[in-house]
Amino acid sequence: MGQVIEIEGLSRNFGDLCAVDDLNLSIGTEIFGLLGPNGSGKTTTVLMLTTLLKPTSGAAFIHGHSCLSEPMKVREHISYVPQEMAVDIKLTGRENVWFFAKMYGVPRPHDRVDEVLGILNLTDRADDLVKTYSGGMRRRLELAQALVHEPDVLFLDEPTIGLDVSARRSIWEHITRLRRDGMTVFVTTHYMDEADHACDRVGIIDHGRLVAVDTPTALKHQSAPDVISVRISGAYHPITGDYFTPIGRDGEVWSFATADGVAALPQIRELLEKAGNTIRGVSLRSATLDDVFLQRITTQKEPEGFDERKFRTMLRRRR
Ligand SMILES: Nc1ncnc2c1ncn2[C@@H]1O[C@H](COP(=O)(O)OP(=O)(O)OP(=O)(O)O)[C@@H](O)[C@H]1O
């Protein structure tokens, strides 16, 4: 696989905080998903790769061009769709894409605007105001804008956040089609199931450090393959053992990753009961990428406080 993005010891500090810590990665023509908890350094990484933020140390190259010393060369190859809405709702879809085409000096802009609107299935609504679009259509319009100058590397920061299930599916169908046509896609997402289905490889970043990189299938094989989930009513009394790893809770349900779920299930059940837990139900399933993620990140923080910016973005997209 020819390398399209090369990242060498990339770091970024904000004061005392090391947001991205010595990142090393080679990415070819693939869909690469960067996964991590809130505040783990995903957006900071994307901003450095898209030349919008200077690294504190290290280097990154797109098609051999340095993001630091050759930003204009890099920008010829890339496009970036940020988390925040990047379309003007007072313009039509066509006018939004036209604006980008003119900004990039796209040759024969009329034809190219028509073409990208067609690729993103927006032709029928191209002349309607964007404020009448659904969240999924707005996201597709952002992709159309991003594609108008024919980049070959696309950066997407949380492309499906706030969208409903069918809009999310449609966005991923477009992303995988772009990949089939030879584009490199670097995507951040919180949705593990989406990364599992769509990404050729994923990297897990935690506290700015890359803690795992591989195909979703390989990551699932490397981690404990089984997960035991136990519904516990009342207080949880913790247990320890060398044949399982607690990987978190969801309400009353506590989960444990293990190499052999069938053997471990009765043992975990007995340990929990001996520790004083009241068990309401037990289930066994194969590990998902979500479980791998929880096993790889060092701290399973409670969700961060209310993030007004993200909340507003979601509302805007949802209509
Ligand atoms: N301009 C900035 N000034 C100071 N700190 C910053 C700045 N940008 C990011 N940070 C901090 O750097 C860390 C990494 O932030 P970043 O936005 O890259 O994380 P993220 O993984 O994209 O998070 P999220 O999933 O919530 O979008 C966080 O602790 C964040 O508060």
pLDDT tens string 141-168: 999 999 998 899 999 999 888 888 888 8
Ligand 1 pocket: which of 11, 13, 14 to mutate (most atoms <8 Å of CB)? 14
As annotated, the residues of the chain forming the CATH 3.30.70 domain(s) are: 225-286
List ligand 1's pocket residues with C-beta within 6 A. Answer: 14, 17, 19, 36, 38-44
Q: What is the pLDDT of residue 112?
A: 93
Whose Cα sits closest to atom 2 in ligand 1?
A: 14
**Alpha carbon of 18 to ligand 1 centroid (Å):** 10
pLDDT at 312 over 50: no
80 Cβ neighbours under 8 A, 6+ residues apart: 46, 50, 52, 146, 154, 155, 156, 157
pLDDT band of 303, cuts 50, 70, 90: very low
The token duo for 80 is: 């970036």
25, 210 Cβ separation under 8 angstroms? yes
Q: How is domain 5-215 classified at the CATH fold level? A: Rossmann fold (3.40.50)
Q: Which residues pair with 203 in a beta bridge?
A: 34, 213
In CATH, what number does 225-286 get? 3.30.70
The whole-model pTM stands at: 0.84
Distance CA 155, CA 115 (A): 21
Whose Cα sits closest to atom 28 in ligand 1?
A: 39
What's the complex ipTM? 0.97
As annotated, the residues of the chain forming the CATH 3.40.50.300 domain(s) are: 5-215
Least confident of 63-72, 91-100, 159-168, 178-187: 159-168
**Alpha carbon of 186 to ligand 1 centroid (Å):** 18
* Closest among 52, 79, 74, 73 to 143, alpha carbons compared: 79
Whose Cα sits closest to atom 26 in ligand 1?
A: 38
pLDDT band of 298, cuts 50, 70, 90: low
Chain segment 262-276, per-residue pLDDT in tens: 999 999 999 999 999
